[in-house]
Amino acid sequence: MGWFRRSPWVLHYNATSCNGCDIELIASLTPLYDLERFGIMNTGNPKHADILAVTGSVNEKSRQVVQTLYDQMPNPKVVVAVGICATSGCVFQDCYNVLGGVDKVLPVDVYIPGCAARPEAIIDGVLKACDILEEKYAQWKKMRRQ
């Protein structure tokens, strides 16, 4: 776990999740697990966000929404796939309307396993995402200097 110079904000979007992972994501932000102690906050505005946490696999309609949200986020940004649905599609991967994991649409940096992903796993994953964000930020700064 690196040293955070920034406190990243998380934007959460439910692609086609069953809610299980969403409530765990929210639970991980509340007093018992308290992701906020790392300075991480949940935001509803994509333009404020650094980390996009997607729960659930993508379908025909939500792929555009996920894509738009991703495009609206400022650079650098990290995508976290929360739960098995977002990773591969879970039991729903054979459904006619499920495209598969989020990586079918966006470049995913961190996969969090579990159905539903446990808050501990989510915290771990989001902290990994912070490290990646830090790296991306450093690279991005270097690129800008050139």
Partner 1 sequence: MSKPQEIVPVEKSDLVGIVAELFAEGYRLVQIGCTTLPEAYELTYSFDREYRFRNLRFAVTKGEEVPSISVIYPNAFLYENEIHDLFGVVITHIAVDYRGTLYRTAVGTPFSIDNVKLTEAPKQKAAVPEEKPSAVPGEQTG
Partner 2 sequence: MAHRNIIPFGPQHPVLPEPIHFDLVTEDERIIDAIPSISYVHRGLERLIEKRDFLDFVHVADRICGLCSFMHSLGYCQAVEEIMGIEVPERALYLRSIWAELSRVHSHLFWLGVAADAFGFESLFMQALRLREPVLDIFEETTGARVILGVCKIGGVRRDIDDDSLKGIVIRLANLKAALEELGNVFINDYSVRHRLSGVGFISRDDAYALGCVGPMARASGLEIDMRKLGYAAYKYLDVEPAVETAGDCYARCLVRVREIFHSIDLVRQAAGKIPPGPIDVKVTGAPDGEYYSRVEQPRGEVIHYVKGNGAKFLQRFRVRVPTFSNIPAMIKVLKGAEVADVPNIILTLDPCISCTER
Task: Check: CB of residue 125 under 8 Å from CB of residue 81.
Answer: no
Report the partner that residue 81 touches, choosing among partner 2, ligand SF4, partner 1, none (CB closer than 5 to 8 A by kind).
Answer: none
Q: Sort 115 into a burial class: Cβ within 10 Å, 0-12 / 13-18 / 19+.
A: middle
Going by their DSSP bridges, the two strands 98-100 and 58-59 should be labelled as antiparallel
Site string for ligand SF4, 99-118 (x = CB under 6 A): ----------------xx--
Angstrom distance (rounded) from CA 128 to CA 57: 21
Stretch that binds partner 2, among 94-102, 104-112, 121-129, 133-141 (CB under 8 A): 94-102
Angstrom distance (rounded) from CA 25 to CA 13: 11
CB nearer partner 1, residue 45 or residue 97: 97
Report the partner that residue 3 touches, choosing among partner 1, partner 2, ligand SF4, none (CB closer than 5 to 8 A by kind).
Answer: none
Task: Check: CB of residue 43 under 8 Å from CB of residue 9.
Answer: yes
Report the partner that residue 99 touches, choosing among ligand SF4, partner 2, partner 1, none (CB closer than 5 to 8 A by kind).
Answer: partner 1
Token pair, residue 15, equals 């692609």
Angstrom distance (rounded) from CA 55 to CA 80: 9
59 is an interface residue for partner 1 by CB under 8 A: yes
Interface residue with partner 2, options 35, 50, 53, 56 (CB under 8 A): 56
68 is an interface residue for partner 1 by CB under 8 A: no
Residues that bind partner 2 (CB under 8 A): 13-24, 26-27, 30-32, 43-46, 56-57, 59, 61-62, 65, 69, 90-92, 94-98, 115-116, 118
